[in-house]
Amino acid sequence: MPNRRVFLKDVAGAAGLVFVGCGIAEAAQSRPAARAGRRPVLVRGRRITTVDMHAHCAVPRAVEMLKRPAANQGSDDPLMLAGQALAQRLAVMDTQRIDMAVLSINPNWYDVDRDLATEVIRVQNESLAAFCAAHADRFAAFASVALQFPDLAAQQLEHAVKTLGLRGAAIGGSVAGKELADPMFHPFWAKAESLGVVVFIHPQPAATPDLARRLRGNGLLTNVIGNPLETTIALSHLIFEGTLDRFPGLKICAAHGGGYLPSYMNRSDHGCVTFPAQCQAGVPKEHPTAYVKRMFYDSLVFTPEALRHLVAEVGAGRIVMGTDYPYPWVDAPVDHVLATPGLADADREAILGKTAMQLLGIAGT
Ligand SMILES: [Zn+2]
């Protein structure tokens, strides 16, 4: 990925959002513009609604309040991020055959005090809600929450879902050095479970200083390895610490295909068998793979074979489409799903949008 240094420009849409990314303005412009609107996606001759569950944005006012760049995807160099106009954003969605994008904001506020966190989240969630209300046919959004204050995060989530119409929460894979399985976060998990909303877990690269040090150097390893590793650690703790037993109704969706966990999950089943002295009796209650198969994952695994394998491990019904927009990881996310071998039409329809709409409580078009 080119390490361009570009700067935040306030080219916000109707409600003060920018679609952020490193060098994305250039990347997006290099794609063919959608001139004739969306080319519909058909499965068995019937038009389906396609949903991108993994799409980023930032709220410039919140960025200014935090006095730091919007969270990026893991460069050690503190890249500033470019804003992008709504028309350009929609053109790329049309080109990619995405009917609806579910926006999330990568957390970069987990270390700030309660007053500032309260205000940042208020501004972000109100901006997301206003934007989505104005463009309800193309956008939905996950709430941001101040997870370093779990009681506050629970209140923010409830307000965002019940009053603002947001569709769940997007959180990091750890919170200022604390694992998501830490009992301090139980109030948040309890609230998410009782509301029945999905929690989208997106890794924060370099969240662990020791690991970040090892991932320095050429190749942006903080991102390419650090991100899937962070997700793997986060999900594993939620399983092995019993969090998912305590809150069995949780709906968790992990970015980037769940990182490394689904592709090597059977080792987790054998750990406590091989080293029983290292495991608390009865925790977790079931085989770890049972929990992996119960969570949801985006399709950002790059090749049809990788997606075929993810489907084989967790089932087509557990996968939703994700692009990581505006980071230019993928050009043709729909074709990626359609090209995956072994999928039935119902599987394709589920991955491309149906499962996401069910998780989000959105009616199809
Ligand atoms: Zn992302």
Residue 72 pLDDT? 56
Q: Would strands 168-171 and 198-201 be described as parallel, antiparallel, or unpaired?
A: parallel
Q: What is the distance in A from the centroid of ligand 1 to the CA of 56? A: 6
Q: What is the distance in A from the centroid of ligand 1 to the CA of 281? A: 36
Q: What is the distance in A from the centroid of ligand 1 to the CA of 362? A: 22
Q: What is the distance in A from the centroid of ligand 1 to the CA of 277? A: 38
Mean pLDDT of the chain: 87
Q: What is the distance in A from the centroid of ligand 1 to the CA of 140? A: 16
pLDDT in tens, 276-286: 999 999 999 99
The single-letter DSSP state of residue 48 is E
Q: What is the distance in A from the centroid of ligand 1 to the CA of 160? A: 21
* Helix, strand, coil share of the chain (percent; to 5): 45, 15, 45
Mean pLDDT of 138-166: 98
| Contact (Cβ atoms closer than 8 angstroms) between residue 199 and residue 249 | no
Distance from C-alpha of 317 to C-alpha of 163, rounded to nearest angstrom? 29
Residue 206 pLDDT? 66
Residue 39 identity (one-letter amino acid): R
- Burial pattern 33-57, b for ≥16 Cβ within 10 A else e, equals ebeeebeebebeeeebbbbbbbbbb
Q: What is the distance in A from the centroid of ligand 1 to the CA of 202? A: 6
| Residues surrounding ion ligand 1 at CB below 5 Å | 324
Q: What is the distance in A from the centroid of ligand 1 to the CA of 364? A: 25
Q: What is the distance in A from the centroid of ligand 1 to the CA of 72? A: 9
Q: What is the distance in A from the centroid of ligand 1 to the CA of 312? A: 24
pLDDT in tens, 92-132: 999 999 999 999 999 999 999 999 999 999 999 999 999 99
Residue 227 pLDDT? 94
Q: pTM here?
A: 0.89
* Share of residues in the chain with pLDDT > 70 (%): 86
Question: Which phi-psi region, left, alpha or beta, contains residue 20 (left: φ > 0; alpha: ψ -120 to 50)?
Answer: beta
177 Cβ contact list (under 8 Å, min separation 6): 207, 208
pLDDT in tens, 294-346: 999 999 999 999 999 999 999 999 999 999 988 889 999 999 999 999 999 99
Residue 219 identity (one-letter amino acid): G
Distance from C-alpha of 67 to C-alpha of 296, rounded to nearest angstrom? 34
Q: What is the distance in A from the centroid of ligand 1 to the CA of 174? A: 15
pLDDT in tens, 244-274: 999 999 999 999 999 999 999 999 999 999 9
Taking the alpha carbons of 341, 347, 351, 353 in that order, is the dihedral positive or negative?
positive
Among the residue ranges 19-28, 51-60, 202-211, the one predicted with the least confidence is 19-28
pLDDT in tens, 180-226: 999 999 999 999 999 999 999 999 876 678 888 999 999 999 999 99
pLDDT at 175 over 70: yes
Residue 15 pLDDT? 53
Q: What is the distance in A from the centroid of ligand 1 to the CA of 266? A: 26
Residue 74 pLDDT? 40
Residue 89 pLDDT? 87
Cα 41 to Cα 48, 52, 97, 239, 324, distances in angstroms: 6, 13, 7, 36, 20
